[in-house]
Amino acid sequence: MNLRLIGIGAGVLIILSLPLAGAIAGPDFAGQGDGKGGGLLASLGLSPSGAPHAAHSAGDPARPGPPEQPRTDARCGPELSAPQGLEAQTCVLVSEGRTWGRSYYRNTGGRALDAVLTVMGPAGRTVQIHCVVAAGDEPGLCETPREESAGAPGAYSAVAEFAVPDDEGRLLLRSGSNSAAPSGG
């Protein structure tokens, strides 16, 4: 090995890492002497608690942080699999007064499948959607429209049924948001 090249490479690495080290450790990274700290979080417009905060310097306009994302609560059943190469997990999601169902899947069985995702809510409310589940190793999802919530999140459940798309419609897997984990026996 050429020690000279290793030394030059190490020097370049140190020089390139100095701004990052200053951003992480320095309380005055961007030259803001506002006493609010600094460092990498502040340079991204975030306070250490994760809440956005604006950094100001004399004559500079405020730099807004990234928009705050609404919280999404999920209640999911277990991840299930079928011998035909299908894996799925189904959830009920709630955010900003809306409820919907989502089923995550992976279909490595070599042929497309049909899926029906149903969300059942209080007072007999039901939303259903049909999805085509493409064959392949890439994960996918089937999701119902987001509807106004009409009750407590626990009053909702979702079920996804995956079947062969032929005349028989043979059911391969049923995945639910409230399913119990499979017992080993």
pLDDT tens digits along 72-119 = 999 999 999 999 999 999 999 999 999 999 999 999 999 999 999 999
How far apart are alpha carbons 75 and 147 in whole angstroms? 16
Residue 87 near residue 80 (C-beta atoms within 8 A) = yes
pLDDT at 21 > cutoff 50: no
What count of Cα atoms within 13 Å lies in the side-chain half-sphere of residue 40?
Answer: 8
Q: Is 3 helix (H, G, I), strand (E, B) or coil?
A: helix
Task: Note the pLDDT of residue 151.
Answer: 85
Between 50 and 129, the higher pLDDT residue: 129
Average pLDDT rounded to a whole number, residues 143-159? 93
Longest dimension (CA), the chain: 76
pTM over 0.75: no
Between 163 and 64, the higher pLDDT residue: 163
Phi-psi region of 97 (alpha: psi -120 to 50; beta: other; left: phi over 0): left
Residue 31 near residue 39 (C-beta atoms within 8 A) = no
pLDDT at 62 > cutoff 50: yes
